[in-house]
């Protein structure tokens, strides 16, 4: 079977990935590996609220994409026995949309808003009294004849998730009683996640195969599970169905993912900074134009990991490719030139 056959089979299996992701989601704090301090703080928060028979304080979770914010919201809801209502910032376009959601909540419900930084500002302002006083102020009509209708709301908990906390206004952030930043994972925790996912999916693995995938997972659980499924496809089609070290390396090579998890898009971005902008500094708008990538995509998808591994640095004048990036790409680094540019 050739690589084209593998690609077809892999593409078919990807159609079920969304359901598999839900299946792989951890169901409790014990199954949620990593973020130990945050988990401990949340356990105390939940237990204290239950002893007082109160609703949880509003919680804001922020950090890179795929790091487990949504999974944590599900676990919080399950730990409290609360109903979880899920929506996203872009989905709440008008005040009426938010009013419809809030008025249908009952005491103790948890409302989870993903990408909360993308809320319309008018909608955000309506949330202020809803979060503080559990009331909803609706303005009916316009001009001098406008009237304000105040509706009492059930005592709910808002959990917001964002990759861009800086885009939330200060008054909005201050209304969250609890704020936690979720960080990238270490390889050990990623290996635990991969082992758990392998058991759920009935995938036969060897320790060395799991370690190989973990190193290429960009320190991110979502990426780790995605790679596990693609390596599983390769192992079933091209090998004996067991994820061994060599099998994992071959599959990742076919996917054009290198030994530290860089994908073609990452390398292309770094080479644009190095080749077109002499290693930087370069502003985000110029980098976006040169790479044909959206600014949000660069900031949310590529940049966090590249900064985490020390391949990109932020300066007052823009982004700079570091010496580590040059070495990884096999490009000569001119230290004197970089000092002048900086």
Cα distance between residue 178 and residue 59, in whole Å: 5
What 3-state DSSP class applies to 111? strand
With a cut of 50, which residues of the chain have pLDDT below it?
1, 3, 5-15, 336, 339-342
Question: How distant is the alpha carbon of residue 62 from its chain centre?
Answer: 8
The token pair at 28 is 């409790």
Tell me the CATH number of domain 3-15+185-254, given options 3.40.605.10, 1.10.8.60, 3.40.50.720, 3.40.120.10: 1.10.8.60
The answer to whether 114 touches 66, Cβ cutoff 8 Å, is no
Q: What is the pLDDT of residue 150?
A: 78
Sorted by where each begins, the domain ranges of the chain are 3-15+185-254, 35-181, 264-341
Output the pTM of the full model: 0.85
Cα distance between residue 294 and residue 298, in whole Å: 6
Q: What is the pLDDT of residue 4?
A: 52
Q: For 337, list phi and psi in degrees, rounded to 5.
A: -65, -40
Tell me the CATH number of domain 264-341, given options 1.20.120.450, 3.40.50.800, 1.10.10.10, 3.30.360.10: 1.10.10.10
Enumerate the active-site residues: 69-70, 114, 163, 222
Q: What is the pLDDT of residue 122?
A: 86
Q: What is the pLDDT of residue 216?
A: 94
């Amino acid at each position: 079977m050739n690589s084209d056959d593998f690609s077809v089979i892999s593409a078919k299996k990807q159609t079920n990935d969304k359901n598999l992701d839900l299946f792989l989601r951890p169901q409790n704090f014990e199954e949620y590996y990593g973020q130990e301090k945050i988990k401990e703080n949340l356990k105390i928060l939940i237990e204290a609220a239950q002893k007082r028979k109160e609703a949880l304080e509003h919680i804001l979770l922020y950090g890179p994409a795929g790091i487990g914010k949504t999974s944590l919201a599900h676990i919080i809801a399950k730990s409290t026995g609360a109903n979880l209502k899920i929506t996203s910032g872009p989905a709440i376009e008008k005040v009426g949309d938010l009013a419809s959601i809030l008025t249908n909540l009952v005491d103790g419900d948890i409302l989870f808003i993903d990408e909360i930084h993308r809320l319309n500002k008018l909608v955000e302002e309506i949330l202020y009294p809803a979060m503080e006083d559990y009331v909803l102020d609706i303005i009916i009509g316009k001009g001098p004849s406008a009237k304000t209708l105040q509706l009492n709301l059930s005592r709910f908990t808002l959990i917001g998730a964002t990759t861009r906390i800086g885009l939330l206004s200060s008054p909005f952030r201050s209304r969250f009683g609890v704020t936690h930043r979720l960080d990238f994972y270490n390889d050990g925790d990623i290996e635990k996640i991969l082992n758990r996912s392998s058991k759920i999916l009935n995938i036969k693995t060897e320790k060395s195969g799991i370690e190989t995938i973990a190193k290429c997972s960009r320190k991110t659980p979502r990426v780790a599970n995605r790679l596990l499924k693609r390596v599983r496809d390769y192992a079933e089609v091209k090998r004996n169905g067991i994820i061994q070290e060599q099998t994992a390396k071959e599959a990742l090579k076919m996917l054009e993912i290198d030994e530290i998890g860089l994908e073609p898009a990452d390398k292309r971005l770094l080479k644009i900074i190095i080749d077109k902008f002499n290693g930087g500094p370069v502003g985000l708008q110029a980098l976006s134009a040169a790479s044909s990538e959206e600014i949000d995509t660069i900031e949310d998808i590529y940049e966090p990991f590249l900064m985490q591994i020390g391949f990109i640095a932020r300066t007052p004048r823009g982004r700079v490719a570091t010496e580590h990036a040059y070495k990884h790409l096999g490009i000569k680094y001119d230290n004197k030139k970089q000092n002048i540019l900086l």
